[in-house]
Chain A
Amino acid sequence: MDIFLTEKHKIVRHSVQDFAQKQIVPIAKEIDEEQRFPWEVVDKMATLGYLGIQAPKELGGAGMDTVSYTIIIEEISKASASLGLCASVHNSVALYPILAFGNKSQKEKFVPDLATGKKIGAFCLTEPNAGSDASAIEATAIKDENRDSDHYIVNANKVFVTNGGVAETFLIFVRTNPSAGPKGISVIIAEKGSAGFIVGERENLSGMRANPVSSIRLSDCKIHASNLLAKEGQGLKIGLAALDTGRIGIAAQAVGICQGSLEEGIKYAKERIQFNVPIAKHQSIQNMIADMGTQVESARLMVYRAALLKDMGKPFSKEAAMAKLMASETASRVADMAVQIHGGYGYSKSYPVERYYRDARITRIYEGTSEVHRMVIARSLLS
């Protein structure tokens, strides 16, 4: 597995494992049960650079590569997928688009606070009537009174916003030209605290419960035109680029859930005695462990390949989509097998596999469903 990882990557993994084991694992169960966002740990993650993994050093980031990013998200997610989600979304779909598409003053204004974790970022695309079909969004940002105005009046109703309850910097997908169809979509950077910016109810989700996934509403919210990311009409392009990168993060998160499920499955199989032997001696359990291990490695290899391609500056969109599809579907299967190995105990909150099982399920849905990913992959293969 580690054949193409450098010594630096290995030290990154070792360091994150050390942190996750000592700081996240002990609270993972509690923050899930109590739906608590653990600021005390997130602040430490910020100090260690986990919220500015790939941002340049001069803007407060750690300046690392995508493979390191993948390793970090994987290891945090293994301890708590909710916190892995926080870091993945913050780094890849909130911070990255500003780095990739922002102008100099936008980068200087927003990136340092995000990269050092002083502020958490969020990405607001999904609406009640626009999920997989992102071009169906209804949110609008209309120039005040005349086209030369230097303000937009933004009205938006966004749902399922990861980090929504704690974020302060939001990328909002809006229509700046409602009659232009997909070409009328743009991205506006909104800040919490603006008049008309409302953080809605926290979602009561099945998994990822430590992340304050919330709805966000902007009601006649006046936002300065300098907060427009890139140009009007470039929203879908920004969204697709962000999601390409985001997919690698979610795929890495799924691999973390897989690895956690595998390790818990092995541990329990060695401890649990039935028919006078540890159940790991039974062939049916061995078959499950063998399948789990093989599938986890396959998923991980695909995710690392996508990350490597990105670091090499090569096209990685198809590979990232394949990795996300593979890793998320694998996470569901592997977590399911881990529950099966645990039997009745796996269905109780006494063991972490119950949480992995719930957390794994959403990875097949968010940042592009498995069905949308198949569509993307098929389009690429058939073109």
Chain B
Amino acid sequence: MKLNIIACVKSVINNMLPGSNRNTLENMELNPFDKPAIEMALSLIKEHKGTLTVLSMGPKSATFGIHQTIAMGADRAVLICDPALKESDTYITAKVLGKALKKLEPFDIVLFGTRSSDSDTGHVGPQTAQMLDIPFIGNIHSLTADQMKNRWIVERKADGYLEAFEVDAKNSKEQKNSSVAFSVSSSFGDSNTFGRPSFISLYGVERAFADKNIEFWDNQTLGLKPEETGLIASPTKIVAWNKEKRSKACQFIDGTYDQKAEQLAQKLSEAGFVG
């Protein structure tokens, strides 16, 4: 069973200079929450054979993160890049990705990160699945194929429980294939033979720049009008965006050493840092 996998990823700003929100090649990298999706895709391909296509929407400087995914092992990469897409919200992003995914059919699985490190919504994965009318399960850390039944068995952790699901690849009306979408937990690989942490090799970097070119698509490629995308079309708009003021307060714990240790452990537990 060869798999056609598509991973939707984002390049994020990792280091913003004071007073600037400019994204440049200097300060962009692959969203760290997308890395597990790429790793899961690569481990599935190692097992089943097939291809990994990376799909992203972003400015030209987003090539940094895309090249990273090719260096990790992706076979093909598409960057949807159009000035009219600027300031699209998650709904429009999902709509654009949905259009692009239709163009990339047939595929078996679409993988997402659970969220992005810069905007942290976690919307795009489920919204895109909705656009395609295919099933979506979030935050999975394990994915195995039940090949006889065209079915996937997935595991995820939620609220202290380990959940397992079966999900059938769905064939919606307009689709050329049956597929299913997941977002991949950052805990993927902790117990995986693929082995984390994985690092980008020089061979991978060479490959990313030697014979793999990023395909650039724009609104026209997807049959979208400028007014259907970007800030104008977005149902949600950012009206304020200020750096949070953090205040540090020092708390003192009194008592004997044992009492102090006990209280400290309790406070850390209550705050969710331990336990």
Binding site for B on A (CB under 8 A): 2, 7-8, 10-12, 14-15, 18-19, 22-23, 44, 47-50, 53, 57, 62-64, 68, 72
Contact = CB atoms under 8 A, between A and B. Distances in A.
A15 B206 contact: no
A106 B200 CA distance: 30
Interface centre among A10, A50, A72, by most chain B C-beta atoms within 10 angstroms, is A10
Given A11-B71, A11-B205, A44 B199 contact: yes
Given A2-B26, A18-B200, A11 B64 contact: yes
A377 B67 CA distance: 41
Contact of A15 (B25, B26, B199): B199
Contacts of A12: 202, 205
Contact of A62 (B26, B67, B197, B203): B203
A94 to B, nearest CB: 18
A285 to B, nearest CB: 22
B89 interface: no
Given A57-B206, A62-B202, 12 more contacts: A7-B209, A11-B68, A14-B68, A15-B201, A15-B205, A18-B200, A23-B199, A48-B202, A62-B203, A63-B206, A64-B206, A68-B202
A50 B202 CA distance: 7
B25 A7 contact: yes
Contacts of A2: 26
Contacts of B25: 7, 10
Interface in B42-78: 63-64, 67-68, 71
B187 to A, nearest CB: 17
A44 B63 CA distance: 27
B208 interface: yes
Contacts of A14: 29, 68, 200
A2 B206 CA distance: 20
Main secondary structure of the interface of B (DSSP, over half): helix
A283 B203 CA distance: 47
Contact of B202 (A7, A22, A44, A49): A49
Contacts of B64: 7, 10-11
Contacts of A22: 197, 199
Interface of B: 25-26, 29, 63-64, 67-68, 71, 197, 199-203, 205-206, 208-209
A10 B202 CA distance: 12
A18 B199 contact: yes
Given A19-B199, A44-B199, A8 B205 contact: yes
A71 to B, nearest CB: 11
B199 to A, nearest CB: 5
B67 A15 contact: no
A57 B25 CA distance: 27
Contacts of B29: 14
Interface centre among B63, B68, B203, B208, by most chain A C-beta atoms within 10 angstroms, is B203
Contacts of A15: 68, 71, 199-202, 205
A15 B65 CA distance: 12
B45 to A, nearest CB: 19
Nearest to A72: B202
Contacts of A57: 203, 206
A63 B201 CA distance: 12
Contacts of B208: 8, 11
Contacts of A47: 201
B200 A62 contact: no
Nearest to A12: B205
Contacts of B197: 22
Contacts of A10: 25-26, 64
A11 B202 contact: no
Of all A-B residue pairs in the complex, the 7 with the closest CB atoms, nearest first, are A49-B202, A62-B202, A15-B200, A48-B201, A19-B199, A8-B209, A49-B203
A18 B72 CA distance: 13
